Amino acid sequence: MIAAQAALETRLMLRNGEQLLLTIVIPAVVLALFSTVDVIDTGAGRRVDFLAPGAIALAVLATSFTGQAIGTGFDRRYGVLKRLGASPLPRAALMAAKTVSVLLTQLLQIALLSAIAFALGWSPRGGWSSAALLAVLVLLGTAAFSGLGLLMAGTLKAEATLAAANLVFVVLLVVGGVLVPLAKFPPALRPLLEALPITALSQGLREVLAQGGGMPWAEAGVLAVWAVLGLGLAARFFRWE
């Protein structure tokens, strides 16, 4: 049942033009455009080496948070969740299927973004060990963003969720270390920005892929805290109707 529901969720996500734009097109355009056009100062080194990890983090944010919040919010509004809750599919299985769908979509996103980055001359460091650390960070980021997305979708009206999720996406794209290095922001703001989950994910991926370092424990810790808070609050306050 979980596999069948996950396949359905994935097909619906990939068939939705708005979802496809958000989850696939925007991160790919951000990576390709700003890697080839010198309009943003990304600091020392090649732009693609800075932007590729940020684009992966942006893709995780788009799928796990924004897309899931909007999709779940409208499913809740139109009674889809209520009907699924009354079906033989257990609610835990429904959440598991949504999680599997998100992970499958992110696998496609990372493969596409990696192909674009390699075509632009990206040369990540660390080999298979970096790939394993990337998987751990993506899982932590997925848990953090999914919890926050489900919390928003389960407590706000669908229209409010649509507006808030898109607004958060744009704000985090600008201030989350995806496009602009944190060093470019005022020093007083940096501690606050470093506490954001998107910053922790983009910085952690950059440390692993661009520098070939070990596990960035500080960033992983930030993501773990957000995951516990988001999923805990979503489990407590999520309303199915």
**Per-residue pLDDT tens digits for 37-82:** 888 888 777 889 999 999 999 999 999 999 888 888 888 887 777 7
CA 20, 25, 30, 31 dihedral sign is positive
Question: Domains of the chain: which residue ranges?
Answer: 2-237
What is d(CA 59, CA 24) in angstroms, rounded to the nearest whole number?
7
Distances in Å between the alpha carbon of 223 and those of 24, 35, 93, 199, 231?
A: 23, 27, 24, 9, 12
Residues 70, 168 contacting (CB under 8 angstroms):
no
Q: Which residues contact 2 (CB under 8 A, 6 or more apart)?
A: 93, 96, 97, 100
Q: What is the mean pLDDT of residues 8-27?
A: 80
pLDDT tens string 163-199: 999 999 999 999 998 988 898 899 999 999 999 999 9
- Number of Cα atoms under 13 Å in the Cβ half of residue 59: 30
What does pTM read for this prediction?
0.91
